[in-house]
Amino acid sequence: MDPTRQAITPELRRWIVEQARAGQPPDGVLAAMRASGWHEDVAIAAIEQALQDFLQEQGIAAPVPVPAPELEGSPSVVRAGDRDVQVLLQMALPRVVVFGALLSAAECEQLIELARPRLARSQTVQQATGGSEVNAARTSRGMFFQRGENEVVARIERRIAALLHWPLDHGEGLQVLHYGPGAEYQPHHDYFDPAQPGTPTILRRGGQRVGTVVMYLNTPARGGGTTFPDVGLEVGAVRGNAVFFSYGRAHPVTKTLHGGAPVVEGEKWVATKWLREGVFT
């Protein structure tokens, strides 16, 4: 038998991961495998594969490509298909960009009026099963448009695809949320937790989420900003503006923990676009 084709059993894989978790350096693991008769090349390949699979399961494998605006040379305005959009803030880690005037006032009004009759208590994806559930951390009401469902939704989706250089069919349908006074969305990550049993089911529709665009459809009198607690950042909710953030790993190292701060006075309307790694079906 070709010695480079020794089988890597699940037990061996588990043993390699246990050694690494116990602090054994890779050359120690390699020496132990050599001593029990493993060919060096095969042992190295097995260690690499086992650790790579383990990191993948933990969401900390190599980052995947993410949506990104073209901000070379720090332009103050970028062309997004049919519209000029302002660049108000950018941050490297977490990767956050705040855009001004992504939507017109008329588009904000139209989205609110189309969404209003369809609002229901917000549900979140239930990662244990892949279903959806009402979530106490989320005291808003919401609805989803189908991708391209009407003219204004289709126009905004084309604009986001052009702005972020990300295919239109990699986007989920636009979600509209309404928060009344006191309502909030407690800090969370938008990617799906790789450790949850329902995640593989969720990932069948287009893979992981890799980016989020939260668009503000009105300006609450006070409160309602989008917060990034890891870095102490709060983006003010101003009509037509949007906050974009991306995450090439499904892991807190991306520092993309974020929440919707409580609305202190007035109400808040947002539209959220989540972008997937692949085609969202």
Binding of residue 190 to Zn ion (CB under 5 A): yes
Give me the sheet containing 258-260, strands edge to edge. Answer: 185-188, 258-260, 226-228, 233-235
Tokens of 197: 């049993």
Tokens of 106: 């008329």
Cβ-based nearer residue to ligand PD2, 15 or 144: 144
Residue 173 sits at the vertex; the CA angle it makes with 171 and 174, to the nearest 5 degrees, is: 105
Cβ atoms of residues 4 and 41 within 8 Å:
yes
Binding of residue 172 to Zn ion (CB under 5 A): no
What Cα–Cα distance (Å) separates residue 41 from each residue in 24, 37, 46, 204?
19, 12, 9, 34
Binding of residue 184 to ligand PD2 (CB under 6 A): no
- The number of residues that bind Zn ion (CB under 5 A) is 1
Task: Select from ligand PD2, Zn ion, none the partner in contact with residue 172, using the beta carbon and a kind-dependent cut-off of 5 to 8 Å.
Answer: none
Cβ-based nearer residue to ligand PD2, 23 or 232: 232
Question: Of 237-276, which residues contact ligand PD2 (CB under 6 A)?
Answer: 258-260, 270, 272
Cβ-based nearer residue to ligand PD2, 38 or 192: 192
Q: How far is the CB of 42 from ligand PD2 (least distance, A)?
A: 45
Instruction: Note the Cα 196 to chain centre separation in Å.
Output: 16
Tokens of 250: 């499904």
- The number of residues that bind ligand PD2 (CB under 6 A) is 11
Binding of residue 203 to ligand PD2 (CB under 6 A): no
Closest chain position to ligand PD2 (CB): 260
